[in-house]
Amino acid sequence: MPYWVVNLIVLWISQFCASVGFSLSMPFAPYYIQDLGVTDADLVKLWTTVITAGAPLSMALVSPVWGMLSDRYGRKPMVLRATLGAGLILSCAAFAPNVYIFAFLRVMQGLFSGVASAVITLVACNTPGHRQGLALGSLGSAQFSGNMTGLFIGGFMADRFGYAKTFLFSGAVLFLAAVLVFFFVREKFTAVQSEKAGKRQSFREKFAALGPGTVLLALVLWMSITRRMDGGLLAIYIQELYGSLDGVAIWSGMINGVGSLGALLAGIGGSLLLDRFHPRRLLYINAVGASASMILIALASSHLMLIPFRFLLMIFLAGFDPILNTWLSKVTPPEKKGAVFGFAQMAKSTGMTLGPCLGGLIAWLLSTRMVFWAAAIMFLILLLVTRQITAKFDRMRNSF
């Protein structure tokens, strides 16, 4: 069996475990905030926004650095750094005495985490070009199946043991994921040669040398802003429709878990399509489907209605990352992929910061329901953004 296939299998399991670890606890953060003493509805929304945006904000600042270091020292060390960092900080969150410490830990998580980006870079750099779509698409199925499992289990665990203990379980599962990578993943890595004296390039020249894929980073940013507008507010929306905090964690886990099931099915199907169809066409389909699904969620009158609507939404949302990652990987030189995916993670993390902030502002000024209407409009605008950016990409690629 080729080594890249063995790596893909091990990293699939590792990504599954990491996703289980994150989804055991983080989707229930708005309820944990209330456990930490924040009970005013507006303050809960505010702190939910801060905590949801805190990790992506700090991650956006350091992701290019981690990406460049991966080109110099290897991608496997970056996977271990991200997984162990996330596991340690989530474990510490179980002992947060107040919401301020919890928010601080979320910021620290962004500085040292970034598991998915590190795994994607490792797979992209060690998989044959004609198998990139299959490999990166299958990682999406690992992520979302892990989310589904973690959300189902996490909802019951939070209801049975309390929200704090779910963070300890999260840390333990992430440590297990790191062990798998350490012992079973092999990397064929050749370090990027250092620049010779007198031939140093400016940042603009280095960025341009990464290839035409850099223009696609704008798509990553817009997509990330739009798909993360609901952020932690979905949990609050579920609580509003449910009508109580008692027992809502089970329903929240179920709704998110069913959504992850839709994402898993989309990941399995999408991995077979990524190498056959132009990414632009797939982005159009996903944007229209996501917009329609957001409208259905905005029209929901019961938390039970969110079960099929979330399932439908995640079928389309799950496709964005594999489409853009595969596209970036295929147009980027192997020795530059660490840097490019580092900048892609920066763009994604920036969107994951701005999206929840925008959604939180809309929820604070208007209502939680209006966040989903706004997201539906943003997905339709994504169609125009995709057309403009991909046209520019085609021009750049022809001249590169």
Is 204 inside a domain boundary? no
Phi, psi of 276 (to 5 degrees): -110, -25
Check residue 304 and give its pLDDT.
Answer: 92
| Closest CA relative to residue 345, chosen from 50, 68, 32, 10 | 68
What b/e readout covers 152-178, taking b as 16+ CB neighbours within 10 angstroms? bbbbebbbeeebbebbbbbbebbbbbb
Check residue 353 and give its pLDDT.
Answer: 83
Domain CATH for 144: 1.20.1250.20
Query: How many Å is the maximal CA-CA distance in the chain?
Result: 67
CB-side exposure of 266: number of CA atoms within 13 Å? Answer: 27
Is 190 inside a domain boundary? no
Distance between CA atoms of residues 400 and 395, nearest Å: 9
| Beta carbons of 33 and 98 less than 8 angstroms apart | no
Check residue 197 and give its pLDDT.
Answer: 46
| pTM of the predicted structure, to 2 decimals | 0.71
Is 285 inside a domain boundary? yes
Is 200 inside a domain boundary? no
Measure the N-to-C terminal CA separation of the chain; round to a whole number of Å.
Answer: 36
Please write the tens of the pLDDT for every residue from 117-173.
778 778 877 777 667 767 777 777 787 778 778 877 887 888 888 888 999 999 999
Is 86 inside a domain boundary? yes
The low-confidence residues of the chain, meaning pLDDT below 50, are 196-197
Is 201 inside a domain boundary? no
Is 106 inside a domain boundary? yes
Length of the chain: 400
| Beta carbons of 112 and 86 less than 8 angstroms apart | yes
| Beta carbons of 240 and 368 less than 8 angstroms apart | yes
| Closest CA relative to residue 73, chosen from 226, 189, 242 | 189
What b/e readout covers 379-398, taking b as 16+ CB neighbours within 10 angstroms? beebeebbeebbeebeebee
| Closest CA relative to residue 340, chosen from 143, 196, 206, 226 | 206
User: Looking at the 3D structure of the chain, how many domains does it have?
Assistant: 1
Distance between CA atoms of residues 229 and 57, nearest Å: 14
Is 158 inside a domain boundary? yes
CB-side exposure of 100: number of CA atoms within 13 Å? Answer: 0
Distance between CA atoms of residues 155 and 242, nearest Å: 15
What sign results for the dihedral spanned by CA atoms 300, 302, 303, 309? Answer: negative
Distance between CA atoms of residues 400 and 394, nearest Å: 10
Full residue range of the structural domain in which residue 358 is found:
3-185+209-399
